[in-house]
Amino acid sequence: MTRGLLDAPMETPTIPPPQDEGEKQVLAKLVEIQDKLLLRKLDRTTYIRTQDVMTLYDETTKQVKRLNEIRSGKSVEENRVDSCFQLLSLFFMTIGRNNEAPAAYSLTSTIKRLLDHLTEADLFSAKDLDSMSHTLEHLSEIIHESSSDEPNPWLETLIASRIERCRASLTKLQKKVEDIAEPLRPTAEKLVSILRQMAMINTKSKFHPKDIHKFELQLKEIDEMRKDGNFVDEQGNVLQGSDGVVSLLKRCQLYTGVVLERGGKFPDKWRPIYDVFIGIRNDLDKLSLTQAWSLRETDLYDFQRQLDKIDESRVDGNWIDEDGQPAELYVQRTLLYLIRRSYGYIYHLMISSEPVSEALLPIYNQLQTLKRCLLEVKNSGGVSSVRELYPYSMKLNSIDNMRVDGKFMVADDIPEGQGSVIDLLSECFELNYELRVAAEDAASRSQTPDVR
């Protein structure tokens, strides 16, 4: 499941420029469109309107149709032309059109990066792969439905090929998990978790050795599970995948010593790039905690662009200093952990994105909070009187009264995500009604004299 810690690093693929003259022309046009999107992204004075995005989407459609004609019948490796769709894709998520083909593009590019890094680090768990497998299935369904609705699909063709490339990488990693005997997989998962937790501790602002010592004890317990150096079943037979898990155990033990020796100190000459990674990771961590209230999906583009630029600056899989010397393995592994962690946050933020326009998100988020409160009240036994429900009822009615002809309007616009918001409003009204009926029944029973 993992190579040794001291193995030579593997290079995560970079995105090369196009070689075909026609593709170069398409790239120039797409860059112009991307510049317009960047200007719109910077404007925080108004929410992003559907019509603004769709105008630029139509311009992009023309270029991708041309791109598909150029590539027809050819086997083409992905290049920088393909990366131009990332920002447009995030705009689709921002306006709430998450379940359409363009929005799927941003997720496929993030999954591709994650799979490349998991392959390079050779450190992953079944949970990592299960999540991405589920997401790819969902994206495939979106593409299938979009293709059937669109007589001349363009982006669907591009995304479908990206999904297949992701699946190919995913299958290779899944095969490594499957090669480990079922009884041994929890141990492998535990070791992956330990190594990642130690990597996190190693990159904290304050390093405490005691945080690492507790993992030393856990590793000792796992080591003691071995018999004659192997992991065996109850009959003493060596379990399939034992060699790989033993290698992972040794990697954890070696890393423990390295981390304690370093004491949280990072080489000064690599500090600038390290600080950039730490800043990105911390910002994304904060966003993951406040996503519902503070995230505009297009903001993720800036993080991705920074990460991509640093990732692609590597030479033969390693970062190079000013003197042309490659980073030592400790530095390489630490930076690779940080970049993978950052892409992991981006992936989480994307799959957690609600199919609601940012214009309706304030209402949607209020309803989400109301629903959580009402469920908590219900699960804790309800209310003792109807009066306790007045604040919830007043808030729900005030939100309901914002609708015009059944729709939530912003000026003259009807933002995307009406169905999601109205469904959530209905759920809250239903919960409120159930609590009110239960309170009235309880009050009625208490007033009925007990005649025996």
Residues 123, 137 contacting (CB under 8 angstroms)? no
Note the pLDDT of residue 344: 95
- Residues 110, 350: Cα–Cα separation, whole Å: 9
Note the pLDDT of residue 149: 61
CA dihedral defined by 239, 240, 245, 250, rounded to 10 degrees? 70
Instruction: Provide the percentage of residues in the chain whose pLDDT is more than 90.
Output: 63
Show the 3-state SS of the chain.
CCCCCCCCCCCCCCCCCCCCHHHHHHHHHHHHHHHHHHHHHHCCCCCCCHHHHHHHHHHHHHHHHHHHHHHCCCCCCCCHHHHCCHHHHHHHHHCCCCCCHHHHHHHHHHHHHHHHHHHHHCCCCHHHHHHHHHHHHHHHHHHHHHHHHCCCCCHHHHHHHHHHHHHHHHHHHHHHHHCCCHHHHHHHHHHHHHHHHHHHHHCCCCCCHHHHHHHHHHHHHHHCCCECCECECCCCCECCCHHHHHHHHHHHHHHHHHHHHHCCCCCHHHHHHHHHHHHHHHHHHHHHHHHHHHCCHHHHHHHHHHHHHHHCCCECCECECCCCCECCHHHHHHHHHHHHHHHHHHHHHHHCCCCCCCCCHHHHHHHHHHHHHHHHHHHCCCCCCHHHHHHHHHHHHHHHCCEECCEECECCECCCCHHHHHHHHHHHHHHHHHHHHHHHHHHHHHHCCCCC
**Residue numbers of the chain with a pLDDT score lower than 50:** 1-13
Name residue 232's beta-bridge partners: 238
Note the pLDDT of residue 62: 87
What would the two tokens of residue 176 be? 């490594």
Q: From its phi and psi, is residue 315 left (phi > 0), alpha (psi between -120 and 50) or beta? A: beta
Note the pLDDT of residue 69: 82
List pLDDT tens digits, range 336-372.
Answer: 999 999 999 999 999 999 899 999 999 999 999 999 9
